[in-house]
């Protein structure tokens, strides 16, 4: 685990996202020319965990 993960996750409560598959979102943005969206990816509330699955949603 990198130092950023050791500080940001347990001490700051900052969720980090990695390895996102954003190809469909990029294609949709390119198709309609709108590149602004709200990305919501709330993790499961697991006490003391350093990782949890998310169900990300992009709202344009």
Overall pTM > 0.75: no
pLDDT of 1 reads 58
pLDDT of 25 reads 95
Task: List per-residue pLDDT tens for the chain, 60 residues long.
Answer: 567 777 777 777 677 788 889 999 999 999 999 999 999 988 888 887 777 888 889 999
Per domain, the residue ranges of the chain are 3-59
User: What's the token pair of residue 15?
Assistant: 């969720």
pLDDT of 14 reads 72
Exposed, middle or buried: residue 25 (CB in 10 Å: 0-12, 13-18, 19+)?
middle
pLDDT of 47 reads 85
């Amino acid at each position: 685990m990198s130092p950023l993960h050791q500080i940001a996750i347990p001490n700051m409560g900052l969720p980090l996202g990695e390895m996102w598959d954003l190809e469909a979102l990029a294609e949709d943005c390119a198709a309609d020319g709108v590149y602004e969206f709200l990305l919501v990816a709330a993790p499961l509330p697991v006490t003391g965990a350093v990782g949890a699955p998310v169900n990300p949603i992009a709202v344009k």
